[in-house]
Structure 1
Amino acid sequence: MVRPFSCIERSQAELIGVIEEKQKTTEKQAEGFIKDLQQEITQLEKRISELNQLSYSEDHLHLLQNFTSTNTAPPTKDWTKVNVHQSSYVGTVRTAVSQLEKTLSQEMKKLLGDVELKCVQKYDVVVTLDPDTANPCLILSDDGKQVHCGNIRKNLPNSTERLSYSVAILGKQRFSSGRFYYEVQVRGKTAWTIGVARESINRKGVHTLSPNNGYWTICLRNGNEYKAAAGPAVLLLVREELQKVGVFVDYEEGLVSFYDVETRVNLYSFTGCTFTERLYPYFCPWPNAGGTNSAPLIISPVNMDADLGGDGGNMSSTT
């Protein structure tokens, strides 16, 4: 990530370059005017010399014959309307400073986002997928870290834990206090939903993803529509396609936050939540849409600087 001081140095160099370029343009313009003026002066001096020679002539007939061609001044430019603008560069500097302020603001947000993300990454926990909760259409990896939707609905026991209607799965780990954090790779997908869900969610019928129904999630739809399922949905401003999403929960604080791990930006936070039940990580890879959404959701290891360490936080969980 580019640091703010580097941005200042780069912006300063760009500003100096612009000013030097404007200086060269102004000097070139002035040199052109000087050249034109010198040519006019030369022509006028030549005409004055011709007139002086005629004024000393005693041949009056010769004087009359040549007077018509010499009494008219050579064509000249109206120099009163010519102006070489001095290089004050006020507008250039103002524009550059405004752009620098914008760049610094963006970089400071990234810097603060980087610090914030590193802080929550300290509460990294091990999360694995619970096959007993998996919708029958889902295919899990042997290590319980990847899930995608297949084309065939498997014949599985319809236990009370299984999500029979939505193409989703819960994590094995459940949390009833403290803080926890995990990351999910979403690269290559056109639709997904991830977040946390309370234990008493409707696992069998139609349901709407919202905090009122026990879901705190964000999702991707149609390949480029990112939303927070806040009931009603909130459209998220995402500049680049998400590759990996971080999920952080502070149970006592009533906070669920989502991060773009690549750009270190907070995507959305549910605040003021009241948790009274155990919470489970929630994953919905959505149908594979003929192969266009066949990439899996992958629970990824958290990569953070060694100097921050990963003490696992002060969360409490039950597996």
Structure 2
Amino acid sequence: KYVAPLQYIAWRKMFKSLKPGPAPLTFDDDTAHRSIRVSVDRTSALELDDVRVYPDSNKRFLQCVNILASQGFQSGRHYWEVEVGSKRKWDVGVASESVDRLGKIKLSPENGYWTLRMRNGDECWAGTQPWTRLRPSSAPQRLGVFLDCEERRVSFYNADDMSLLYSFTDGPRSKAFPFFSPCVNDSRDPPQPIRLL
């Protein structure tokens, strides 16, 4: 368990030499929207125009281009990192296990989502009600997410310099999963994946 993300960063190199170390996250194919492609090692998720035929699953997001991690948490403190690179659109955060996966739902704590959003490559928002505009010194390319289940806190960091981007203090009350959306690619640039680190 990590007291804070900074402590995790300081210990990260040491953890690599320990067995067992912290288990890395993987994407859950059964939750993936049909336009999301997950890599064989389940650490990369990419949105493509064509819709893939996935097996039916009551866990799957049907309307929104979303996906969850396979690992869920309901106790303890947990930190993970996500590479978004230079993607112009993405959503990253935490979702309650019970979220509605059938329709188009606003990403807000009231609906079971605690997220950060990037739009147009330089518009960063916290998923509050209404949205809160954030003004980081530069667009983050790696995000750190810190979930403290006991304190019900969800914090987001620019993982390159560990600067705090935003912190929710009304986090999940029950089991929650790391949440991701590579978003629909509406630019002429080739689509870029979201990667779990």
Q: Does 1:119 align with 2:119?
A: no
Q: Which segment is superposed worse, 154-163 or 278-287?
A: 154-163
Contact 2:5 2:79 in 1 (8 A): no
Distance 1:221 1:292 in 2: 15
Q: Which segment is superposed worse, 291-300 or 189-198?
A: 291-300
Percent identity, aligned pairs only?
36
Q: Does 1:133 align with 2:31?
A: yes
Aligned-CA RMSD value: 1.8
Matches within 5 A, 1:27-46: none
Tell me, which stretches of 5 or more residues in structure 2 are unaligned? 13-21
- Larger RCO of the pair (alpha carbons < 8 Å, separation 6+): 2
Deviation per CA, 1:150-200, whole angstroms, max 9, x where unpaired? 110112233210011110100000111001010001112000000110001
Q: Does 1:233 align with 2:121?
A: no
Q: Does 1:215 align with 2:113?
A: yes
What TM-score does the superposition give when structure 2 sets the normalisation length? 0.88
Distance 1:204 1:293 in 2: 28
Q: Does 1:276 align with 2:164?
A: no
Q: Which segment is superposed worse, 210-219 or 157-166?
A: 157-166
CA gap 1:227/1:293 in 2 versus in 1, 3 angstroms: farther
Kindly provide the amino acid, as one letter, of the partner of residue 265 in structure 1.
Answer: S
Distance 1:242 1:293 in 2: 19
More strand per residue: 2
Contact 1:227 1:236 in 2 (8 A): yes
Tell me, which stretches of 5 or more residues in structure 1 are unaligned? 1-115, 301-319
Distance 1:235 1:119 in 2: 28
Q: How many corresponding residue pairs? A: 185
Contact 1:125 1:181 in 2 (8 A): no
What TM-score does the superposition give when structure 1 sets the normalisation length? 0.55
Contact 1:189 1:292 in 2 (8 A): no
Q: Secondary structure at the match of 1:175?
A: coil
Kindly provide the amino acid, as one letter, of the partner of residue 179 in structure 2.
Answer: Y
**How far has the Cα of 1:145 moved from its partner?**
0.5
Contact 1:125 1:182 in 2 (8 A): no
Kindly provide the amino acid, as one letter, of the partner of residue 7 in structure 2.
Answer: C
Could you say which residue in structure 2 is the equivalent of 1:111? Answer: none
Kindly provide the amino acid, as one letter, of the partner of residue 126 in structure 1.
Answer: P
Larger Rg: 1
Could you say which residue in structure 2 is the equivalent of 1:256? Answer: 154
Distance 1:259 1:278 in 2: 22
Equivalent of residue 102 in structure 2, options 198, 201, 204: 204
Equivalent of residue 159 in structure 1, options 54, 57, 74: 57
CA gap 1:286/1:211 in 2 versus in 1, 3 angstroms: same
Q: Secondary structure at the match of 1:182?
A: strand
Q: Does 1:287 align with 2:175?
A: no
Contact 1:194 1:282 in 2 (8 A): yes
